[in-house]
């Protein structure tokens, strides 16, 4: 019979730990939090700030089982996660087991491995009340803001709204960015790129950088044409050649925020999904070796880049054995810990628990997403302990009268860590070509160059880009808003509350979101100010460090907040009844229309209500793009106008002839501009195939669904149909090569895919090779040679500029 009880957070973690510690231990899971503030009331004494906790609904059975197991145990080990939330969960469990709490010890480990768990049990500590109080402070702060601001917004805007201490700051950042974009005034500027040839090949590009010794700043066409003429008539002479070595050092292993950003940039995983995948890797995976579950990565909620001595020794031995001593630095690479992370420096960075579990070796035991994330964590950790990459960099200044042009060349001299990990968003099919493109020919100072071509280009400055999940996470981190472990919740909340929506991966604020921020700025400028919120985060860190009493922080915050709240109740603008004025006029009665906010978002309503009950849906996302390009959407079945409507699946166009005509259109499909040619009938049941839009883009589905579930993909997961190239597939001789588009860009493959998997990265053209008479050539654009065609036959070296080849053919 087990003498000791180990309490963890999740059943998966319990299952993994159970195999490490033997029959003297019983492992039970709390299944997350067991107590929290009540849902139906504030739950905080506003004089003492004492929280009133209650057992979460549905957790009664779990709590009863924990209490029963605690009575039988000699020692109770709390093994919840090693952060504030985990410490608070352990403290709540300790309070619920009552008299048995005197048997409680706290154990901490940052990876779920046998050594880490056994070591933690041998070195138990006590619950850290500073961490618990920091978590209580955050919870009470959020409750005070949420429960007091939300009713105010219900009264002033519409029922059901919510405001959060951190989510409102994130929303403000999105709204502020949108206002910057709307206020942006583009500025014209011109650039000049000369394609020059030296005595030695290859040709290269040099760009105008200075005019009469000052930075080139050409703002209109008149000046641009003067410079263009002068450059064409002048002489290009090499004025100076500067050569130097550039060093690029490896990035540190991942922390939570950098993992979230990298996963989004490389795989387009939302922050919430990234953390869910990482959680599974941390808690353990079955690797099919009869050893049960194995924890593959260290704890994934961390701000620290520190690595344990054991892990450093292991990775250095691994690098030396696999890549050689040349790539291993004499001493381990040490990365600086951010000041904000010093309180959590007991944590490690996110790394593999053991280099025994090579990603390729265990690939078959992981899902595709788990493998992608695990391999990225593995590669960055290994790369972090390698030597820097070295580049030979050449800067060439070229004089032409008062004008100076610069060409820069960069050649990889020593790959260093780049042999393992690069910070790209994905593989680039022309990586090797691009490396060569950076090389410059051998040149000497005073050499005169030939001008092959001069590109004079008009440009306009661009507004700041809208936030993606990756860039918003970066902005939150840089501004000290929230903590990486909360980013997923923040990003989800501002969308589910209809304050923002994502279109093509970018955040747009809704009218509701903009109104809420406008009102909060009027009355609670401090609460949603980035610097104020960041300062509050530092104060919470001070509580965790034991430098500040958490209830003093509550009193300080509450005094200012309650004053703002009292003023807002009297002075905040009320838009609930009057709505927001617009330039729209009611089509039925001619009265002005205003923006109002309903259960499913904003809409236009006639001010002549109730005499006129006209309303109009406000388009957003793909529907907004369709609306901008077309004044009226017409039904292709009956010819009547179509009206924008909303369902629980999003916006759609519905025929005004309903119920006689039930035709609908998906804005996503309308925007995609897909072909309208009729499809062959379903190959399984003979019924009509209809175009639909799903999570991964458009597809054809049998109209007999759900009895017949036949579907036809469009391209290889692409949003546009494949385009013919006129070239027969050289592999199967039956299909044609077609242009397709994937997440990584354009490629060319056989139309009989997946029966024939032949593919090319560069465009095939139906022209016979003039040298070996191969049936087709390939075209591509390079920095060094421009637009060229070449033969795909590895034994043929034909390669020529496209313009020269076409002229020869003519």
Q: Got the DSSP string for 156-177? A: HT-TT----TTHHHHHHHHHHH
Q: Average pLDDT for residues 694-704, to the nearest whole number?
A: 72
Is a pLDDT exceeding 50 seen at residue 343?
no
pLDDT band at 58 (very low <50, low <70, confident <90, very high): very high
Cis status, amide bond into 659, omega within 30 of 0: yes
Q: Is residue 777 classed as helix, strand or coil in its secondary structure? A: strand
Q: What are the catalytic residues?
A: 299
What is the per-residue pLDDT for 122?
A: 93
Is a pLDDT exceeding 70 seen at residue 81?
yes
Crossing angle of helices 256-267 and 469-478, in 10° steps, is: 160
Q: Average pLDDT for residues 124-150, to the nearest whole number?
A: 94
Stretch among 376-380, 630-634, 748-752 having the lowest mean pLDDT? 630-634
pLDDT band at 423 (very low <50, low <70, confident <90, very high): confident
What is the per-residue pLDDT for 804?
A: 53
Question: How far is residue 235's CA from residue 397's CA, in Å, rounded to a whole number?
Answer: 13
Is a pLDDT exceeding 70 seen at residue 697?
no
Is a pLDDT exceeding 50 seen at residue 382?
yes
Is a pLDDT exceeding 60 seen at residue 27?
yes
Over the stretch 460-498, which tens digit does the pLDDT of each residue have? Answer: 999 999 999 999 999 999 998 988 888 988 999 898 888
Give buried/exposed letters for 536-552 (b at 16+ CB in 10 A, else e): bbebbbbbbeeebebbe
Is a pLDDT exceeding 90 seen at residue 338?
no
101 vs 395, which has greater pLDDT? 395
> How much of the chain exceeds pLDDT 70, in percent?
89
Is a pLDDT exceeding 90 seen at residue 713?
no
> How much of the chain exceeds pLDDT 90, in percent?
54
What is the per-residue pLDDT for 315?
A: 97
pLDDT band at 431 (very low <50, low <70, confident <90, very high): very low
What is the per-residue pLDDT for 426?
A: 37
- Distances from the Cα of 184 to the Cα of 229, 296, 467, 549, 621, angstroms: 33, 47, 16, 46, 21
Is a pLDDT exceeding 80 seen at residue 601?
no
What is the per-residue pLDDT for 641?
A: 84
Residues in contact with 188: Cβ distance below 8 Å, sequence separation at least 6, in sequence order: 219, 220, 458, 459, 460
Question: How far is residue 107's CA from residue 80's CA, in Å, rounded to a whole number?
Answer: 8
Q: Average pLDDT for residues 439-459, to the nearest whole number?
A: 94
pLDDT band at 687 (very low <50, low <70, confident <90, very high): confident
Question: How far is residue 375's CA from residue 369's CA, in Å, rounded to a whole number?
Answer: 10
What is the per-residue pLDDT for 580?
A: 82
Is a pLDDT exceeding 60 seen at residue 339?
no
Most confident of 138-142, 676-680, 728-732: 138-142
Average pLDDT taken over every residue of the chain: 86
Is a pLDDT exceeding 50 seen at residue 504?
yes
Stretch among 264-268, 326-330, 655-659 having the lowest mean pLDDT? 655-659
Q: E-assigned strands of 510-553?
A: none
Q: Average pLDDT for residues 45-74, to the nearest whole number?
A: 94
Most confident of 272-276, 509-513, 592-596: 272-276
Over the stretch 777-791, which tens digit does the pLDDT of each residue have? Answer: 999 887 667 788 889
Question: How far is residue 774's CA from residue 607's CA, in Å, rounded to a whole number?
Answer: 72
Is a pLDDT exceeding 70 seen at residue 4?
yes
pLDDT band at 656 (very low <50, low <70, confident <90, very high): confident
Contacts 24+ apart (CB under 8 A), 715-722: 715/740, 715/741, 715/742, 716/740, 716/742, 716/749, 716/753, 717/742, 717/743, 718/742, 719/672, 720/672, 720/673, 720/674, 721/674, 721/675, 722/751
Over the stretch 757-783, which tens digit does the pLDDT of each residue have? Answer: 888 888 999 888 888 888 999 998 876
């Amino acid at each position: 019979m087990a003498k000791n009880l180990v309490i963890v957070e999740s059943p998966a973690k319990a299952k993994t730990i159970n195999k490490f510690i033997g029959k003297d231990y019983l492992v039970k899971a709390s299944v997350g939090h067991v107590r929290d503030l009540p849902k139906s009331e504030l739950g905080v004494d506003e004089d003492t700030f004492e929280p009133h906790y209650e057992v979460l609904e549905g957790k009664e059975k779990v709590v009863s089982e924990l209490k029963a197991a605690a009575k039988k145990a000699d020692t109770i080990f709390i093994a919840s996660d090693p952060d504030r939330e985990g410490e608070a969960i352990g403290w709540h469990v300790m309070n619920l087991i009552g008299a048995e709490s005197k048997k409680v010890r706290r154990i901490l480990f940052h990876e779920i491995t046998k050594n880490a768990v056994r070591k933690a049990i041998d070195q138990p500590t006590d619950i850290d009340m500073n961490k618990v109080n920091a978590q209580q402070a955050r919870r009470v702060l959020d409750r005070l803001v949420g429960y007091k601001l939300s009713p105010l917004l219900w009264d002033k805007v519409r029922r059901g709204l919510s405001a959060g201490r951190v989510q409102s700051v994130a929303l403000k950042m999105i709204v502020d960015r949108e206002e910057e974009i709307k206020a942006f005034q583009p500025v014209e500027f011109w650039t000049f790129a000369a394609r020059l040839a030296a005595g030695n090949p290859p040709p290269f590009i040099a760009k105008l950088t200075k005019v009469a010794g000052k930075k080139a700043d050409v703002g209109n066409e008149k000046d641009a044409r003067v410079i263009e003429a002068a450059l064409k008539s002048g002489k290009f002479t090499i004025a100076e050649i500067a050569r130097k070595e550039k060093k690029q050092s490896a990035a540190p292993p991942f922390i939570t925020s950098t993992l979230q950003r990298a996963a989004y940039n490389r795989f387009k995983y939302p922050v919430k999904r990234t953390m869910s995948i990482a959680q599974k890797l941390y808690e353990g995976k079955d690797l099919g070796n009869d050893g049960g579950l194995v924890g593959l990565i260290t704890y994934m909620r961390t701000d620290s880049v520190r690595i344990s001595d054991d892990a450093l020794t292991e990775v250095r031995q691994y690098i030396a054995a696999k890549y050689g001593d040349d790539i291993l630095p004499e001493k381990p690479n040490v990365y600086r810990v951010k000041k904000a992370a010093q309180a959590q420096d007991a944590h490690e960075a996110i790394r593999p628990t053991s280099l025994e579990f090579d990603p390729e070796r265990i690939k078959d035991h992981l899902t595709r997403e788990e493998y992608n994330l695990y391999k990225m964590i593995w590669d960055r950790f290994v790369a972090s302990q390698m030597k820097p990459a070295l580049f030979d960099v050449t800067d060439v200044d070229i004089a032409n009268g008062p004008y100076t042009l610069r060409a820069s060349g960069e050649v990889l001299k020593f790959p260093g860590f780049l042999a393992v990990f690069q910070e790209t968003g994905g593989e680039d099919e022309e990586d090797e070509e691009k490396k060569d493109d950076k090389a410059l020919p051998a040149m000497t100072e005073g050499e005169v160059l030939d001008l092959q071509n001069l590109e004079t280009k008009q440009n306009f400055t661009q507004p700041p880009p809208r936030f993606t999940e990756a860039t918003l996470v970066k902005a939150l981190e840089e501004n000290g808003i929230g903590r990486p472990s909360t980013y997923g919740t923040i990003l989800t909340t501002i969308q589910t509350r209809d304050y923002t929506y994502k279109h093509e991966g970018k955040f747009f604020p809704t009218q509701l979101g903009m109104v809420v921020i406008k009102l909060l700025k009027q009355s609670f400028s401090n609460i949603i100010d980035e610097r104020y919120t960041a300062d509050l985060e530092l104060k919470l860190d001070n509580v965790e460090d034991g430098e500040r009493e958490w209830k003093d922080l509550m009193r300080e915050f509450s005094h200012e907040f309650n004053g703002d709240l009292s003023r807002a109740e009297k002075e905040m603008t009320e838009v609930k009844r009057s709505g927001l004025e617009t330039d729209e006029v009611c089509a039925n009665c001619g009265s002005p229309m205003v923006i109002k906010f309903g259960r499913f978002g904003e809409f236009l309503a006639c001010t002549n209500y109730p005499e006129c009950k006209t309303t109009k849906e406000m388009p957003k996302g793909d529907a907004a793009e369709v609306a901008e390009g077309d004044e009226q959407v017409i039904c292709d079945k009956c010819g009547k106008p179509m009206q924008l409507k909303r369902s629980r699946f999003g916006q759609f166009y519905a025929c005004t002839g309903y119920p006689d005509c039930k035709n609908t259109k998906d804005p996503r499909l309308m925007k995609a501009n897909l072909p309208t040619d009729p499809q062959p009938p379903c190959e399984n049941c003979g019924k009509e195939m209809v175009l639909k839009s799903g999570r991964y883009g458009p597809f054809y589905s049998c109209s007999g669904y759900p009895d017949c579930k036949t579907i036809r993909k469009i391209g290889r997961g692409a949003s546009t149909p494949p385009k013919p190239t006129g070239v027969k597939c050289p592999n199967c001789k039956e299909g044609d090569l077609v242009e397709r588009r994937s997440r990584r860009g354009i490629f060319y493959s056989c139309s009989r895919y997946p029966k024939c998997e032949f593919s090319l990265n560069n465009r095939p053209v139906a022209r016979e090779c003039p040298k070996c008479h191969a049936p087709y050539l390939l075209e591509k654009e390079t920095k060094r040679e421009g637009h060229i065609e070449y033969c795909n036959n590895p034994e043929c070296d034909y390669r020529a500029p496209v313009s020269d080849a076409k002229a020869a053919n003519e």
